[in-house]
């Protein structure tokens, strides 16, 4: 029997969460370490960093994908897919959805990656150059493309609904989550698994970012290297992992008696049309994304209690994001709690919006705001309340997560208590 399409005003809720990160291999461990102000950044161990200007990163350590996913499948796929698959499996289990009771045509997956299978690129190019074309793995192309995590997870659970991946640099996961929300609203699906995964702590990736002079070179003090909004910030610190949400229509979640974390109430995306890497110095694109996301959530500016900032710890981003927040909120900007959890997780690039969406949802659920650590000497141009160094208890009713990406990408998502 064909189902009637959902209303464009159908409400969308979060019913499942999954994370893999340097601070923990599950949501509870990750969240507790985050609230404690722990830092997941240390010297890189995955390759020899002796000749690199940046030698630190937020690696996922002491983790074996074969304990969580079929070893044969795992060996055929890239590390970014490992993170995405396991985080998606966590989120789906957390949601309590039983696929035997669902219409598989109404379940979709949108898990993106800003860069995709970088390790596969490097490994297989080396085989090509060292041994010739016949030695390149037949799994090379499926392993490196950015939509493979979405495809594999759909196979895992038998989801035949919308399935693809978005790529928009460091805004990728927020775009995936927001577009998944729209798919539920317009009736393309009842359930969507959405987020991002990334694994770019690799020799070639580091060489490229080091050449750009984008990353921190505070190699002698890794735990204090990521310091968003601090006058001493000198670049971002690379992280890796995944953050995944399970989204459902409110009606569907209520009908099956689901545990609901909160509502995903609004989302918007814009482009700066300014520069390939530097944000608009007037914050115009991000300002518009925030305004549109808030409007689409049908809440007022003064209802926003908390923002999980993009907060990369780069000189330009933190200053321009602060300016954009002031432009949007006016006097209310001074009343907002804002934090950059990249001070602890590092910057997960295309997965950043996924893991930060999980953080934003947990903030609403628990009434605890994770701090911005390493904020010892605030930049005078970054003069808002960034929840410095220590977590804070608060009744967070409505919260927003911001993400920006190379190419001028901006994305904002608004979450709300039911």
Catalytic residues, which ones? 170, 310, 347
> Contact, 208 vs 52, CB < 8 A?
no
What is the C-alpha to C-alpha distance for residues 357 and 343, in angstroms, rounded to an integer? 16
150 phi, psi to nearest 5 deg:
-60, -45
d(CA 315, CA 49): 24
How many CA atoms lie less than 13 Å away from 250 in the CB half-sphere? 14
CA 210 centroid distance within chain: 22
Q: How many CB atoms are located within 10 Å of the residue 130 CB?
A: 8
**How far from chain centre, in Å, is Cα 42?**
20
Tokens describing residue 342: 């990249």
Cβ burial 296-314 (10 Å sphere, 16+ → b, else e): bbebebeebbbbbbbbbbb
Going from the C-alpha of 357 to that of each of 44, 51, 99, 187, 259, the distances in angstroms are 26, 35, 24, 23, 18
For the chain, how far is it from start to end, CA to CA, in angstroms?
Answer: 31
- CA-based nearest residue to 409, from 166, 230, 196: 166
Query: CA geometry: angle at 221 spanning 215 and 223, to 5°?
Result: 85
CA distances to 27, 60, 282, 300 from 323, in Å:
32, 33, 7, 19
Q: Tell me the C-alpha to C-alpha distance, in Å, between residue 332 and each of 74, 364, 384.
A: 48, 19, 10
Q: What is the dihedral of CA 74, 78, 83, 89, to 10 degrees?
A: -40
């Amino acid at each position: 029997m064909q189902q009637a399409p959902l209303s464009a005003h159908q409400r969308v809720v979060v019913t499942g969460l999954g994370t893999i990160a340097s601070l923990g291999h599950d949501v509870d461990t990750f969240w507790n370490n985050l609230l404690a102000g722990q830092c997941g950044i240390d010297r890189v161990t995955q390759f020899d960093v002796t000749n690199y200007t940046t030698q630190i990163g937020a690696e996922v350590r002491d983790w074996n994908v074969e304990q969580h996913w079929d070893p044969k499948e795992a060996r055929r796929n890239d590390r970014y897919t490992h993170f995405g698959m396991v985080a998606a499996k966590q989120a789906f289990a957390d949601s309590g959805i039983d696929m035997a009771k669902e219409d598989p045509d109404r379940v979709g997956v949108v898990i993106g990656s800003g860069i995709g299978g970088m390790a596969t690129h490097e490994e297989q190019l080396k085989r090509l150059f060292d041994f010739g074309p016949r030695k390149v793995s037949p799994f090379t192309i499926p392993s490196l493309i950015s939509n493979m995590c979405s495809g594999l997870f759909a196979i895992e659970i038998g989801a035949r609904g919308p399935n693809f991946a978005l790529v928009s640099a460091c805004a990728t996961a927020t775009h995936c989550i927001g577009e998944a929300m729209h798919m539920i609203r317009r009736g393309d699906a009842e359930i969507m698994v959405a987020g991002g995964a990334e694994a770019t702590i690799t020799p070639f990736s580091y060489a490229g970012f080091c050449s750009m002079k984008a990353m921190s070179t505070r190699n002698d003090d890794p735990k204090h290297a990521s310091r968003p909004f601090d006058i001493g910030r000198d670049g971002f610190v690379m992280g890796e992992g995944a953050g995944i949400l399970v989204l459902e229509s409110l009606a569907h979640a209520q009908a099956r008696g689901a545990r609901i974390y909160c509502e995903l109430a609004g989302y918007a995306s814009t482009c700066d049309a300014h520069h390939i890497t530097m944000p608009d110095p007037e914050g115009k694109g991000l300002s518009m994304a925030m305004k549109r996301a808030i409007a689409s959530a049908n809440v007022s500016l003064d209802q926003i209690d908390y923002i999980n900032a993009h907060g990369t710890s780069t000189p330009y981003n933190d200053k321009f994001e602060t300016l954009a927040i002031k432009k949007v909120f006016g006097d209310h900007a001074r009343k907002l709690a804002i934090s950059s959890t990249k001070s602890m997780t590092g910057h997960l690039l295309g997965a950043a919006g996924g893991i930060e969406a999980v953080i934003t949802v947990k903030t609403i659920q628990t009434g605890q705001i994770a701090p911005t650590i390493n904020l010892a000497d605030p930049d005078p141009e970054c003069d808002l309340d960034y929840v410095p160094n220590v977590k804070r208890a608060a009744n967070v009713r409505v919260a927003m997560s911001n993400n920006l990406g190379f190419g001028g990408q901006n994305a904002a998502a608004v979450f709300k208590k039911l």
